[in-house]
Structure 1
Amino acid sequence: MNTTALPARTEVAVVGAGPAGLALAVTLAASGVDFVVLDKLAEGANTSRAAVVHARTLEVLDELGASEELIARGIQVTRFAVREGSRKLLTVPFEKLPTAHPYTLMVPQYETESVLLDRLRALGGDVHRPYEVASVVQDEDGVTLTMSTGETLRAAYAVGMHSTVREAAGIGFTGSAYGESFVLADAVMDWAPGPGEVSLTFGTDGLTVVAPLPGGHYRVVATVDDAPPTPDLAFVQRLLDERAPGQAKVTGIAWSSRFRVHHRVADRYRSGRLFLAGDAAHVHSPAGGQGMNTGIQDGYALGQAFATGRLDGYEARRRPVAQRVVAFTDRMTRMATTRNPLARVARNAALPLLGHTAMPKKLATELAELNYR
């Protein structure tokens, strides 16, 4: 059901109501810029998908008046542990970070979207659903967006969160795909390291991340050569038995999925009146949980650019961030999934030694995205 009829025109058309699109819309609403948010789904997706909200994103949500409610719905984790099997190689501490939020917030993506949507509505905005944008055509004076239903919307500018606007703008998406597939599962389980840390486990079979979620669940992310479409309890238990022996007893699966991952950055973030943010601008490995965070920060930065009329500065500010995040997550993924025995021995010997240097704090700052203020 459409929440509201589509207006004839607006200043900014936002295509996609995920976290990046909602962050942009809240920023525009708070600044008094006229906008329309379009989403092809009849309602927001009720799955957990991205589950990590980092400190820099929480600072942005402070500015948008949305952090308090989100923090209340999540779990604060102050340690990121790197392991090989059950052996801990390195601990990355978040509690001393120079921020009002010295932790990682574990919270399902649908909660992040729900909090941002509530904030948008409190500011008098909403999402127009279900409207699928079939074509985007820009001219000197504006952009015409045509829906699959034939309705049109005229806007001064359009911002895309997915491929539709990027393809209409003719902007390349440079990068490549990882060979492995990724498994995502929200599991009910007994987990030996407990809910006080996010653990990244190296192994010859691939990378495995286990992180606590609200309600006693754990998020499991793992690279596998070929994952089943919907990994079941037996699959997840077998995976953890192989990679973290004796650490996990899985008793239920709340949700699971598989996907293939690319590492790509759009060649440009702007073409005339068309802008990119979020997944349209960058995709990368889920190692480090930085995709949604970078997207929310894109939305906020672009909203501020519209509010202040400084649109030329958006790409210069945000594209180098995406390049750095993609390079960082790629390095982390390759280091974690290397099958070279010598490289693994060297890595496992070096990490405990690096724990006594400034490296863990630097790594925490990088993961928390505090370098991108």
Structure 2
Amino acid sequence: MTARCVLIAGAGPVGLAAAVEFRRRGFSPRIVDAGEGPTPDDQSRALGVLPRTLDILAASGIALRMLAEGNRISRMAVTDDGRPLFEMTTTPGHTQHPFILALPQGRTERLMIEWLAAHDVEIEWGVGFQTVADTHVPRVTLSTDEIVAADIVVGADGAHSAVREDIGISWSGDGYPAGFALADVVFDRPIDPAVAKIDLRTSPGHLSGAIAMLPLGERHGRYVGIAPSTEALLGDLPGIGEVVWASRFHVSFRHAERMAKGRVFLAGDAAHVHSPVGGRGMNLGIEDAATLAFLASEDRETEYEMRRLPSVRKVMAATRQGTDFIAAPPPAALALLRVFVPVAGQTPWLRGRIADRILGLDLPPPEWLRQAG
């Protein structure tokens, strides 16, 4: 029997994950992208890989390669204008990977591309989605004027999704008033690669809001936070030997009113975008892609929207709450955290709950992972 054709628009981490998951489940994925190639290794926005993403990519073997390359972060030291507030650890998390894996998005993409090439799937760069004639019996016109008859179409083509716009799904939400900045740096001396640092910067004299440092290894790290510029982000932080890459960006909290129309489905940023606080975006999108592939393998893809929307809404609400908190931490909440977190650290049940929240394990696991467990 001929394998069912899946046309995927977008070759970022979500589109690539969709291609991997559909391919290993016996489909014939075709993946197109209007760009010229994957994210540059030295300019990766997404960085944190959460345990469930590793669980999802374990079946293909990609997770092992990610684990071999990435840096494992298992502790967070939180300060208020440099004064210690509390520390947290992810080691009590209910997972075999109780850490955040720091791996640049460009490397994650290339590991997936290598796997796909080894399984006879090549990325068609410079080829964009144009329009789909019928969402129930999809016939997609590409930028090359080729018309593709597909059993399933996946729009993983980002926040400005051509697929979403073409099929007329509304895009709701608004922009966030504060700007963000990031800087990838080389330190002038070794750091502890297991410890992320978060400084809330609440004093009136600061030009920026909260800032986080995520280690990429003993000598490399990323600073990211609410700031109008890289200069405001880094200020007079000691120990930075070189800034390798810097970027400013604004974020929105927006979502598609639906994640499916007929046999056309949305995943990742095409369906939902939010701030980087918590590192959930790429991970949530990869779970979208894997869920769709699983459901399609059981001829249950019509369940996709109802299964993903609750998780999407929960993550977006939690991320908005977290972003608002770091933008303007209420003094009373800081005082409460200063007392609560050390006490919680002595209570095994609470330590596990806190770790699970940090690791993105506060959502129900996908059905096929529960079955495997």
TM-score, normalising length: structure 2 = 0.87
Partner of 1:289: 279
Preserved contact between residue 263 and residue 284 of structure 1 (Cα < 8 Å): yes
Q: Which runs of 5+ in 2 are unaligned?
A: 203-207, 366-373
Deviation at 1:57, TM superposition (A): 1.0
Preserved contact between residue 39 and residue 105 of structure 2 (Cα < 8 Å): no
Deviation at 1:215, TM superposition (A): 6.8
Tell me, in whole angstroms, the C-alpha distance in 2 between the residues paired with 1:317 and 1:248.
47
Aligned ranges 1:318-329 → 2 under 5 Å: 318-329=308-319
Tell me, in whole angstroms, the C-alpha distance in 2 between the residues paired with 1:58 and 1:310.
24
Preserved contact between residue 181 and residue 261 of structure 1 (Cα < 8 Å): yes
Partner of 1:308: 298
Most deviating of 20-29 and 202-211: 202-211
Tell me, in whole angstroms, the C-alpha distance in 1 between the residues paired with 2:52 and 2:309.
17
Q: Which runs of 5+ in 1 are unaligned?
A: 1-8
Partner of 1:85: 81
Q: Supply the AA of the counterpart residue of 1:153.
A: V
What root-mean-square deviation, in Å, do the aligned CA atoms of Structure 1 and Structure 2 show?
Answer: 2.1
Aligned ranges 1:244-255 → 2 under 5 Å: 247-255=237-245
Matched, 1:14 2:8: yes
Preserved contact between residue 145 and residue 153 of structure 1 (Cα < 8 Å): yes
Partner of 2:362: 371
C-alpha change, 1:304 and 1:95, in structure 2 (3 Å) is same
Matched, 1:72 2:68: yes
Matched, 1:351 2:337: yes
Partner of 1:188: 186
Tell me, in whole angstroms, the C-alpha distance in 2 between the residues paired with 1:363 and 1:96.
9
Tell me, in whole angstroms, the C-alpha distance in 2 between the residues paired with 1:94 and 1:321.
21
Tell me, in whole angstroms, the C-alpha distance in 2 between the residues paired with 1:152 and 1:83.
56
Tell me, in whole angstroms, the C-alpha distance in 2 between the residues paired with 1:168 and 1:61.
31
Aligned ranges 1:96-115 → 2 under 5 Å: 96-115=92-111
> What is the aligned residue count?
347
Deviation at 1:99, TM superposition (A): 1.1
Preserved contact between residue 192 and residue 248 of structure 1 (Cα < 8 Å): no
Preserved contact between residue 90 and residue 358 of structure 2 (Cα < 8 Å): no
Deviation at 1:367, TM superposition (A): 2.7
Partner of 1:217: 220
Tell me, in whole angstroms, the C-alpha distance in 2 between the residues paired with 1:134 and 1:289.
31
C-alpha change, 1:274 and 1:70, in structure 2 (3 Å) is same
Partner of 1:257: 247
**Residue 26 of structure 1 is aligned with which of 20, 30, 40?**
20
C-alpha change, 1:139 and 1:102, in structure 2 (3 Å) is closer
Matched, 1:158 2:169: no
Preserved contact between residue 240 and residue 248 of structure 1 (Cα < 8 Å): no
Per-residue CA distance 1:116-135 (angstroms, 9 max, x = gap): 11222222222112202222
Q: Supply the AA of the counterpart residue of 2:185.
A: A
C-alpha change, 1:189 and 1:308, in structure 2 (3 Å) is same
Tell me, in whole angstroms, the C-alpha distance in 2 between the residues paired with 1:112 and 1:187.
20
- Equivalent position SS for 1:186: strand
Partner of 1:136: 132
Per-residue CA distance 1:14-49 (angstroms, 9 max, x = gap): 001111111111111111112211111221121221
Q: Supply the AA of the counterpart residue of 1:34.
A: S
Per-residue CA distance 1:44-103 (angstroms, 9 max, x = gap): 121221110011111111123211101111111111232212223232211121211111
Tell me, in whole angstroms, the C-alpha distance in 1 between the residues paired with 2:339 and 2:188.
30
Tell me, in whole angstroms, the C-alpha distance in 2 between the residues paired with 1:97 and 1:139.
42
Per-residue CA distance 1:291-329 (angstroms, 9 max, x = gap): 111111111111111111111221122111111111111
Preserved contact between residue 176 and residue 250 of structure 2 (Cα < 8 Å): yes
TM-score, normalising length: structure 1 = 0.87
- Equivalent position SS for 1:326: helix
- Equivalent position SS for 2:184: strand
- Equivalent position SS for 1:248: coil
Q: Supply the AA of the counterpart residue of 2:186.
A: V
- Equivalent position SS for 1:182: strand
Partner of 1:39: 33
Per-residue CA distance 1:128-161 (angstroms, 9 max, x = gap): 1220222233254x22222233222221221111
**Residue 211 of structure 2 is aligned with which of 208, 215, 226?**
208
Partner of 1:4: none
Tell me, in whole angstroms, the C-alpha distance in 1 between the residues paired with 2:190 and 2:210.
18
Tell me, in whole angstroms, the C-alpha distance in 1 between the residues paired with 2:233 and 2:27.
49
Per-residue CA distance 1:236-281 (angstroms, 9 max, x = gap): xx53336xxxx53322121121111011221111011210001011
4+ residue runs over 6 A deviation: none
Deviation at 1:359, TM superposition (A): 5.0
Preserved contact between residue 107 and residue 214 of structure 1 (Cα < 8 Å): no
